[in-house]
Amino acid sequence: MKFEDHLDGDIVVIDVSGKIMGGEETTLFHGRIHEYIQQGKKDFIIDLSKVDWMNSVGLGMLISALTTVKNSEGRLILANITKIESILTITRLISVFEHHDTREEAIKALA
């Protein structure tokens, strides 16, 4: 897994790519979220358009991110979930995460 993050106004956008299977990148991912929260950022979009595959550790990473953001009174939206929609549906997490088909729709939802 690789990820890149940037600000779109006050919204933190994190582009995730590759296979989400845990490891050092997961720890770095959580660290970045905490850094943004400490800077006062509350709205996050995780763009999953370039994710090839995800295992249960990847799901745990997303759940942990959602919990962290919600505990700081923020919002986390998943964008472009097409490739992982089936695993979210099977685990019933599809109803836990706010999600939109495109990054643009997610940004509008946070506006």
- Return the SS3 of 12: strand
Q: What is the CA angle 51-63-84, rounded to 5?
A: 30
Q: What distance in Å separates the CA atoms of residue 70 and residue 64, rounded to the nearest whole number?
A: 10
Q: Which residues of 14-28 are buried (b: 16+ CB within 10 A; e: fewer)?
A: bbbeeebeeeebbee
Q: What is the pLDDT along the chain (111 residues), one digit of tens a residue?
A: 999 999 999 999 999 999 998 888 999 999 999 999 999 999 999 999 999 999 989 999 999 999 999 999 999 999 999 999 999 999 999 999 999 999 999 999 998
Residue ranges and CATH numbers for the domains of the chain are 2-110 (3.30.750.24)
Q: How many CA atoms lie within 13 A of 4 on its CB side?
A: 5
- Residue bearing tokens 């990473």: 61
Residue 22 is predicted with a pLDDT of 81
Q: What is residue 23's predicted lDDT score, i.e. its pLDDT?
A: 84
For residue 44, give both structure tokens: 């996050």
pLDDT value at residue 16: 96
Phi then psi for residue 5, to 5 deg, are: -130, 150
Q: Is 81 helix (H, G, I), strand (E, B) or coil?
A: coil
